[in-house]
Copies of this chain bind each other. A is one copy, B any other.
Amino acid sequence: MALMKSWVESANAADCPFPLNNLPYGVFSNGEDEARCGVAIGDMILDVTLLEEEGVLVVDEDDPVFDLPFWNDFMEMGTEAWTALRARLTTLLTDGGDDAISGNADLKSRALVAQSDAEMHMPIVVTEYTDFYAGRHHATNVGTMFRGAENALPPNWLHIPIGYNGRASSVIVSGTDVRRPWGQLKSPDHDMPAFLPCRRFDLELEMGAIVGTSSDGPITVQEADDNIFGYVLLNDWSARDIQAWEYQPLGPFQAKATATTISPWIVTKAALEPFRCDTPAREFELLPHLKDVGPMLYDIDLSVTLAPEGKDATTIAETNYSQMYYSAAQQLAHHTTAGSPMNVGDLLGSGTISGPTKSERGSLLELSWGGKEPMTLDTGEARTFLEDGDTLTLHGAAKGDGYQIGFGDCTGAVLPALKDPYAR
């Protein structure tokens, strides 16, 4: 597939993250205006809420769909509506296509907002949030650190996508600062735990899949793939010292409760279609209900940069989404095996994505090997875990022939812990 040309000139540059091929969905506000639904094109945002008000976009003939600043109502309409909107937006934005916007100077000036003028908001109401642990290199690295190389992968790991329910209320949009949490910790050299600010605050480089169609009961991998609306970048901020003390026997809880940051644009499954690729070779055949049904992952380049306060950013990791062992569809299918209903707006984190080499590790836990091997940033500072003032940014792009499908940054700065979390 090649670049599709738009009359929005900035969308046609080879390094633009938002060409006509992409059309990712988000929620934005411009100055004092209320937040609205929009689609990114080049360096602009097309105001979908306005276009619906003006009758240029008609998704539902009876009721407005974009009158609330979330994409949930639209997702709820189902796959035919998803296809129709993408087709309509493509026609409206194609160079030489429908000139309802391009040929109407007044509408054009009102419907296109510069991304640099806009503030981005959460694109969806996150109904429930689940985080997986489905990157083999990450699970092997962490397992080796905690249990030794021989027991690195638990016996179940190659048979089911291990996951746990997270906290939807803690999901935030890129650009929101993250406060270093307090938590109960126990140092190996102390007998008793203490309540202290986290000392090992970390990132996890992940992708998030958004469920766009609800289900009630077990669904197949193909049905799960059909039910996914799109993808975002996801940083699952993790308090490693809280996790070490709390996670036995029922898994991580407060270690993962501070924040999970997502990128502001939902890149649709449709936009990623040309980048599908196979999951890795498997040691054990998966059980039939979890088997691949064609290429299930995507070739998406991912990287992480870290910028100490007031300083330049260093790229600390580069990897690719194709390093996952389980696809989001397989995770979603597994999620339904025991009968749990899944709802529009559910968010599934992929699990940390690490590649086989050191520079491909998607967490500081792995990059600093549990804090034992500090890494040196380009600015000369050493890092084991995150320090106050650090800004962490995830980047992602699927690279095509003369164009790319970008995700927009997934970024957040670490604020110092509160002096007293109970001061009122």
Q: CB within 8 Å of B: which residues of A?
A: 127-128, 133, 143, 154-156, 159-160, 162-170, 179, 181-184, 186, 192-195, 198, 217-220, 239, 242, 245-255, 257-259, 284, 287-289, 334-335, 337-343, 418, 421-422
- Please state if A183 and B338 are interface contacts (CB–CB under 8 Å): yes
- Please state if A339 and B159 are interface contacts (CB–CB under 8 Å): no
Measured CA separation A217–B424 after assembly (Å): 11
Residues of B within 8 A of A155 (CB): 186
Residues of B within 8 A of A183 (CB): 337-338
Q: A160-B246, A255-B338 are in contact. List 8 more A-B contacts (CB 8 A).
A: A128-B169, A156-B245, A165-B253, A170-B341, A184-B337, A218-B422, A254-B338, A289-B422
A-B contact pairs, 25 of them (CB 8 A): A133-B249, A133-B250, A154-B248, A154-B249, A156-B184, A156-B186, A159-B184, A163-B250, A163-B253, A164-B251, A165-B167, A167-B340, A169-B343, A170-B340, A170-B341, A181-B337, A182-B337, A218-B422, A239-B338, A242-B338, A247-B251, A254-B334, A254-B337, A257-B339, A289-B421
* A399 CB, nearest partner CB in chain B, Å: 33
Q: Which residue of B lies closest to A218 (CB)?
A: B421
- In the A-B complex, the 9 residue pairs with the smallest Cβ-Cβ separation, listed nearest first, are A251-B251, A257-B340, A165-B165, A181-B338, A218-B421, A254-B338, A250-B251, A164-B250, A257-B338
Q: Which residue of B lies closest to A184 (CB)?
A: B160
- Please state if A248 and B169 are interface contacts (CB–CB under 8 Å): no
Residues of B within 8 A of A182 (CB): 218, 337-338
Q: Which residue of B lies closest to A167 (CB)?
A: B340
* A387 CB, nearest partner CB in chain B, Å: 18
* A257 CB, nearest partner CB in chain B, Å: 4
Residues of B within 8 A of A334 (CB): 254
Residues of B within 8 A of A195 (CB): 287-289, 337
- Please state if B184 and A287 are interface contacts (CB–CB under 8 Å): yes
Measured CA separation A343–B170 after assembly (Å): 11
Q: Which residue of B lies closest to A147 (CB)?
A: B249
Measured CA separation A298–B172 after assembly (Å): 37
Measured CA separation A418–B163 after assembly (Å): 24
Given contacts A165-B167, A192-B284, A218-B182, contact A252 B254 (CB under 8 A): no
* A215 CB, nearest partner CB in chain B, Å: 10
Q: Which residue of B lies closest to A172 (CB)?
A: B341
Given contacts A182-B218, A252-B250, A288-B195, contact A258 B338 (CB under 8 A): yes
**Partner of A339 from B154, B251, B259, B340 at Cβ < 8 Å:** B259
Interface centre among A167, A219, A245, A259 (most CB of B within 10 A): A167
- Please state if B257 and A422 are interface contacts (CB–CB under 8 Å): no
- Please state if A193 and B287 are interface contacts (CB–CB under 8 Å): yes
* A157 CB, nearest partner CB in chain B, Å: 9
* A247 CB, nearest partner CB in chain B, Å: 7
Q: Which residue of B lies closest to A154 (CB)?
A: B248
* A356 CB, nearest partner CB in chain B, Å: 21
**Partner of A162 from B154, B165, B250, B422 at Cβ < 8 Å:** B250
Q: Which residue of B lies closest to A193 (CB)?
A: B159
Residues of B within 8 A of A220 (CB): 422
